Amino acid sequence: MELQYRKATPDEAQRVCYIVQHTKAVIYPDYYTQAVVDFFGSLHSIDNIQIDIEKNRIDVLVKDGEIIGTGSRTENHITRVYVLPEYQGQGFGSMIINNLEKEIFAGYDFCELDASLPGCIFYENRGYKTVKHVKFDIGGGKFMIYEIMRKTAEEFPKEGKT
């Protein structure tokens, strides 16, 4: 098995968009209404993904030549971490987060993220703590619930430490 973690290139925007949209469509309906699932989809449109790739914000995880996961960051804020459903539970999400955290903690004292309901336990198990519960009005009497979570540099394992 060959793994590579690197910055996404402009010609990979469609694949990144597919990973996000497909994973969201498979996982999120167990946690959110269709209106919220659709709203999430609009946040991660191909246009927004292309902009973030141009700004060098999106990374990809490549397994045996195929992009299977993605993660993004803006300064010390992690966003858009998705692994295709068939690859979940195998440590690939942790690989993405490890790399994002390493970049962030090289220059910041903490990192923050907005965790969807299906992601909260994953992040909590990685040392993140909820700092705020959010109920966001998406219109039409529908709401999106998520957590703002934070991890400090002190909680990040340093090289050589166990």
Domains defined along the chain, listed by start: 3-155 (3.40.630.30)
Alpha helices in the chain (DSSP H): 13-27, 34-43, 46-54, 92-105, 120-125
Burial class (CB in 10 A: 0-12, 13-18, 19+), 73: buried
Q: How many other C-beta atoms are found inside a 10 Å radius of the C-beta of residue 66?
A: 10
What number is the average pLDDT over the span 12-40?
A: 92
Which of 153, 59, 158 lies closest to 108, judged by CA? 153
Report percent pLDDT > 90 for the chain. Answer: 76
Cα angle 14, 17, 23; round to 5: 135
What number is the average pLDDT over the span 106-129?
A: 93
- Look at residue 43 in the predicted model and tell me its pLDDT: 85
- pTM for this entry: 0.89
- Look at residue 161 in the predicted model and tell me its pLDDT: 39
Q: State yes or no: pLDDT of 37 exceeds 70.
A: yes
Average predicted confidence (pLDDT) for the chain = 92
- Look at residue 157 in the predicted model and tell me its pLDDT: 64
